[in-house]
Copies of this chain bind each other. A is one copy, B any other.
Amino acid sequence: MMNALLEKIVADCGEYVSQGHVATYIPQLAMADPDKRGIYIVSDSGEEFSAGDCFDRFTMQSVVKPLILMRALMDSGVEKVQALVGVEATGKPFDAFNYSDQALTGAHINPMINTGAIALCTLIAGETYEIKFARLLELARLMAGNPNLEVDESVYLSEKETGSKNRALAYMLKAYGMIHDPVEEILNCYFKACSILVNCRDLAKIANVFAHHGMNPATGEQIFSKEYARYVTATLATCGMYDGSGKFALDVGFPAKSGVGGGIMGVIPKRMGIGVFAPALDKHGNSVAGVHMLMKLNQEMDLSIY
């Protein structure tokens, strides 16, 4: 019955596909099929439901930001994380250069915009950025319960080659003394993180660990503390859907994080994790059909936390 509902939602949301466009700023992303749509739910009791192209793989892109934040919290603690990157919504798109004051400080950024996520890579433990990235990937695999998660090398190289805006943001962080390591090494870590391949199931599993405050429902293992889980989840609620976060809170009503690869991870605290996928994006960079699938899911299952 649940699967039938999901099938219906996937089918019904096909009409929204044409309202968006697949990301083109990274050549590899432009090759995505805009008609793909998938959904996956991991519930409280461990049951799993799914529909559509839920096993198609796509790169995490910004969906990895909550994991970067979590890894930084686990490795460096709340104090260092907050000293470097604030938590307020900026009222600006994810890749904005516009800061209202002359000097850039942590108060101007948050972990869900590129500038903040790039800065947080430096707070992951590890002597090299290969090691830092390995620690991040390890966390993703552990949360997803999928030891096979890996980087899409062609997307990674494509991001690396075309990432002028992220380079600009990183050098700005360096110019204001907020990061100190070589920019290209930090960016390698960030670009690899964005290029981790996942499917809807992986996202749902990862979300479910956040929803259960760090406990892996599959194993009972406490991967991180409730305090850290709430730090990340609360940040998703206020900043997770770029400058569409406020509208998403009204329309859908639970913490979520989108990526320009077309994925969205939804966290229903204490209840479930959701992963959806549909590559065509709206003007904020959020999956159009993905947002609509979550909206319908909320209407059917009353998932809003408000």
- Give the B-binding residues of A (Cβ under 8 A): 86-93, 96-102, 104, 110, 164-165, 167-172, 174-175, 183, 229-231, 233-235, 237-239, 243-247, 249-250, 253, 255, 269, 304-306
Contact = CB atoms under 8 A, between A and B. Distances in A.
A98 to B, nearest CB: 6
Q: Is the interface of A mostly helix, strand, loop or mixed?
A: helix
6 contacts: A89-B246, A93-B102, A168-B169, A168-B172, A171-B171, A237-B238
Contacts of A170: 168
Contacts of A89: 88-91, 238, 245-246
Nearest to A233: B306
A239 B246 contact: yes
B234 A306 contact: yes
A89 B238 CA distance: 8
Contact of A230 (B86, B233, B247, B250): B250
Contact of A245 (B229, B238, B243): B238
Given A171-B165, A235-B250, A237-B249, A243 B102 contact: no
Nearest to A172: B168
A88 B253 contact: no
A262 B9 CA distance: 46
